[in-house]
Structure formats: structure tokens, C-alpha cells
Amino acid sequence: MIGKEYLALLQPWIKAAKKYLYRFPERPELGFYGTGTNAWGVQTNTKAFSAFAVLATDPEIDEKEIGMTREELLNWSLALLRFTMQSHIEGDYSCTDGTSWGHTWISGLAIERMMHGVEAIKEYLTEEDKILLKKVLVSESDWLMDYYPIEAGPVENNKPESNLWNGAILYRTATLYPNLPRVNEYREKGTQFLINSISIPSDAQSSKEVDGKKVSEWYIGNNFFESYALNHHRYMNVGYMLLCLSNVAMLHFMYREKGLKPPESLYHHVEDLWKLVKTFIFPDGRLLRIGGDTRVRYCYCQDYLIPTLLMIEDKYGDADCKKLEQNWLKIVKKEQDYNGDGSFFSKRLVKIANVSPLYYTRLESDRAAALSMGLYWRRIFSHDEENKEKTGDGRNIQILTSWKDDYHGACLQRSDNRIASWVWEAAEKPQGLCLPPGRSDMAEWHINLAGEIKGMGCFNNNRIEYHEEYLFKKGFITYGKITVHSENFLAEREIDRDIAKEKIVFAALPDDATVLIMQYAKSLNRDYFKSIKGLFLQIPND
């Protein structure tokens, strides 16, 4: 049973989390995990709450392994939840920085990621808890209705994940409290948020009917390109493609648990996006981030693979999901065992913990929350899972073998023997990969295979001038030109400047084994350089 694997990962985490728990002396019924500050402090607390709550109600916990009794776990769960609600604009307390949270573009995410925890301990909530929870959800929903416009765009106003969680919070409020006076308004705007989350250009002309209207009538803008590439945080962002699907999962399982029919708009383009996202997953569960990453490796976005896999398996019957889930849990366990203290990242991220307890606890709580979703949903739907195993229901949604996106200059060729990719508009641009699918440990994103030119400035970056790319059978070729810029020099009055031009050709040959790379670089003036490297094949310390 996979549920036991989740339990084995979450129980020791509670011990490691204790050092970041705090109760208010003047309000001992309130407590928090992390820093208790607004914004990401609140998000961190709600995620930790969900892990505590799911464990507190699990019938198979080992109190010795956790280092708390069930009663203590439940007590902390309620304290974390009550602090979350009382520090909201609708509550009577504040965050530790003296502010109240809520009424922002991201407030709904804090709620969405904790609601499975609320369901887990709902029988322990007092009437006062329930009243305040309702006030918080209604307050957030009314703010979205009255003050927050829906926007979407492929580069500017790119809001796929926030449109999804904001649409979800409107539908969640309408479902939990169906007698509210604005329920129909919540559903109407909720649908428009959802349609304009995983949205593509052709939606503007789509005559397909979803939730009572044509898609074109709901359409405001496309966050995704027609290829389902996503330019989020100004680069080809595989991680946020996955995040969108994870927020679909959170609302999907609310409807499953309550036995209610979800809105059609919740699944708008979900299966199509999954085909691409699945293509960007290594067999061991790690994300194949062909466009790179600006965050800590294999954290945050990566962690929300768990709810995504559970939803895709449940909704679309993709039989590969369970194996990916099991393989990813093995990686999580390996790092947790290496840490030796129950934490998920204490050794790898020790420097981050020392300079930013907020960011460190944010990452720890992401993993804890995602694992608690796996534990809770596997637990409450275990009977359905057993029936599927008996009947052998399930299919395999096939990954793509070849893919291209023109805007990012992105190309991918994937087979059982080789993954070859190139992306011009990457996080650290440009970057390429050539490796076996079974070797995620060889995947390095940082301007890999693009050469390296560094001037004497503290920061050096590449600006894409142009690119072209072409697919052919079992391969692709792309070529382009970059300008290297160096800035922030030590000497006063030394100006930031362009220092070099580089032309690159990258071809994935149809032999299913080789990539060919050609590079030509020329300095723009006589200058000093810290580093000039050709090829630049990097292998991570993994």
C-alpha cells in the first residue's frame, strides 16, 4: 500500500518540524510553523497545518515515530488552523509582523493547499471555528468578485496558476456554502477563471460548450501557447505547467470526497497539458526541466507532482502514474534518510536555513503538504483503488516523442534511448540536454551545452538575438545568435557593456544517440574575460 510509504515519510518530519513551532503566550490556542509572517509565512503555516491534520486523524500512526501523541498532534493542528483564520482580515489577531493577511492574488492558494487538512479534522472543529472559516472563504470570494479582474497572456499578464486557484476558491466556497446569496456569481466568475487558466490561442474561436457557454465566450486571453509551452517568470517553465495541474487536483478531490459533479471548466485542456508534462518527467519521477529553473532544484514545483499524479490516475486512468508516484517517493525517502533528522532538506539546504528560515520552512512545508495530500487521498479512496486493481482498469497516456515551440525556440526529441532538447528562451539561456532517460542525475540546466563567456563584471547574461528551429524524423536542428552582457564592475565608472556575440548550431541526429554542437564566438572589443569555455557539458553533483 502506497499509503504506508507516505506515513513513513511524514511521521519523522514532525520531529524535525518542532524547532519551527511556536505558540503565543497571550493566546495559547494559536500557534504557527515557520515565521508567522504575512505572505509566504502564512502559506508556509497552512501547508504545515495540512500535514499535522492528516497525520492526527490517520488510524495507523506510530506516536513514538512522530514524537507526539495523537492528542498533541490534533492540538497543534487546531492551533495552526486557528492562527491562520484569526490572522486573516476577518480574524481578531495578526501575523507576527503586525499585519493581517488576505485579499491578494495569492491568498486563495493558502486556502486551497490546506483544505484537505480541514476535511481531515472537521469533526474536531468548534462552531466558532466553522463560522470563522466560512467568513474567511466568503471574504476572499467577495474580494475576487469585486476587486480582482481576470487577466491572461502568453508573456505579459501570464497568470495560469493563479487563475486556476482563484477559480477554484470561488467554486469551493459556492459548493461548501450553497445558500450564500452570491453563489451563482461565484460560479460564473469561477468558470471564467478556470477557462482562462490552461488557455491557448485557439480558445478564442472555439465553439465547444463548457458550463453553458462556448469557450470563445468565456475567453479573455491565452496563458499557454498552442503547443502548451508556458512562459512563466519569463522563461519556458515546466514547473508551472505542473503547478496548474496540481491545483486542478485539489478541487477535483473535494468534489470526489463529497460525491458531487465538478464543473466542466475545471478540466479545460487538462489531458492535453498532461501529455506534454508527462513527456517532461523522468522515469524516476523527477521533472525534466528543459527550460531550466530559477528555484531550488527538485523542490517546490516538483513536490506538487504528487497531487497531479493522483488526479490524473483518478480522472483519466493513466496507469503510469502509480509507478511515477512510487519512484518519486523513493527519491524523497533517500534524501530524508541522508539527512538523518526527519527533515526533507536539512543537509542540502543548510545555508538557506541559516540565512532565511522563512524560505527554508516554505520548502519543507511544500513537501509535507504534498505528501499529506497523497496520504489523505490514498486513505479515503482506498476502496476505489482496490477495485481498480481487481478489474485491471487503466490505460497509458503516451508521452510525446517529438515536440517544438517557436516562441521559446524549444525542441525535444525523446525515445527509450535518448533525450535531446534545446531551449533558447530558458531560465539561464540558452541550454541543451543530451542524456539517457534513465539518468536524471546527469541533467544540468545552467547554460548547458551553450558554451560559457564571462566578462569581468559580477554578473554576466546572454540575450537572444534570433533563433530558428526545424524538426525532422527522429531529430531536430536549431541555430541562433546571442549577445553576452557583463555588468556590475568593481572599478568605479566602468560601464556595463555587451562583450561578445556567439552563434550556435545544435542538432539532434537521427541516430538516437548523438547531438552535434557548433559554436562560434567573437569579442566586440578588446576586453578582459574571466572565462571562455566551449561545449560546456555540465554534470550535477547528484
Q: What share of the chain is helix, strand, coil (3-state, %, to 5)?
A: 45, 20, 35
Q: Is the pLDDT of residue 166 over 70?
A: yes
Q: Is 101 helix (H, G, I), strand (E, B) or coil?
A: strand
CA distance 46 to 36: 10
Mean pLDDT, residues 433-444: 97
pLDDT at 479: 99
Q: Is residue 407 part of a domain?
A: yes
Section 453-463 average pLDDT = 98
Q: Is there a domain that residue 431 lies in?
A: yes
Query: Is 163 within the bounds of a domain?
Result: no
CA 512 → CA 139, 418, 475, distances in Å?
Answer: 56, 6, 8
- The answer to whether the beta carbons of residues 225 and 201 sit under 8 Å apart is yes
- pLDDT bucket at 541, cuts 50 / 70 / 90: confident
Confidence of residue 385 (pLDDT cuts 50, 70, 90): low
Rounded CA separation 197/201 (Å): 12
From its phi and psi, is residue 233 left (phi > 0), alpha (psi between -120 and 50) or beta?
Answer: left
Q: Does residue 388 have a pLDDT over 80?
A: no
Amino acid at 197: S
As a whole number, mean pLDDT of residues 432-450 equals 96
| Alpha carbon distances (Å) from 531 to 269, 481, 506, 517, 523 | 45, 19, 22, 19, 13
* Residue % of the chain over a pLDDT of 90: 96
| Per-residue model confidence (pLDDT) at position 391 | 46
Q: How many helices (H) and strands (E) does the chain have?
A: 17, 16
Query: Domain for residue 308, yes or no?
Result: no
- In the predicted structure, residue 384 carries a pLDDT above the cut 90: no
* Burial grade of 115 (CB within 10 A; 0-12, 13-18, 19 or more): buried
Q: CA–CA distance from 151 to each of 141, 193, 234, 421, 481 (Å)?
A: 17, 9, 17, 31, 33
**pLDDT of amino acid 67:** 96
Amino acid at 175: T
Pair 427, 458: CB distance under 8 Å = no
Please give, one letter per residue, the 3-state secondary structure of 453-485: EEECCCEEEEEEEEEEEEEECCEEEEEEEEEEE
Whether the predicted pLDDT of 389 surpasses 70: no
Contact 348, 332 (CB under 8 A): no
Q: Is residue 442 part of a domain?
A: yes
pLDDT, residue 390, reads 47
Q: Are strands 515-523 and 497-508 parallel, antiparallel or unpaired?
A: antiparallel
Q: Which domain holds residue 510?
A: 402-533
**C-alpha cell belonging to residue 19:** 524547532
Query: How high does pLDDT run on average in the chain?
Result: 97
Q: List pLDDT tens digits, range 99-110.
A: 999 999 999 999
For residue 1, pLDDT over 90 is answered with no
Asked whether residue 481 is domain-assigned, the answer is: yes
pLDDT tens digits, one per residue of 493-527: 999 999 999 999 999 999 999 999 999 999 999 99
pLDDT, tens digit (0-9, with 9 covering 90-100), for 258-289: 999 999 999 999 999 999 999 999 999 999 99
- Confidence class of residue 393 from pLDDT cuts 50, 70 and 90? low
Q: For a pLDDT cut of 70, what percent of the chain falls above it?
A: 98
Domain assignment of residue 521, yes or no: yes
Helices of type H across 231-287: 238-258, 270-279
Residues with Cβ < 8 Å from 41, sequence gap 6 or more?
A: 32, 34, 35, 95, 96, 97, 358
- What are residue 147's phi and psi, to 5 degrees? -130, -5
Identify residue 206 by its one-letter amino acid code: S
DSSP assigned state of 89: T
Say how far residue 351 (Cα) sits from the centre of its chain. Answer: 23
Query: Model's pTM, two decimal places?
Result: 0.97
CA distance 15 to 468: 53
Domain count, the chain: 1
412 in a structural domain: yes
pLDDT computed for residue 382 by the predictor = 85
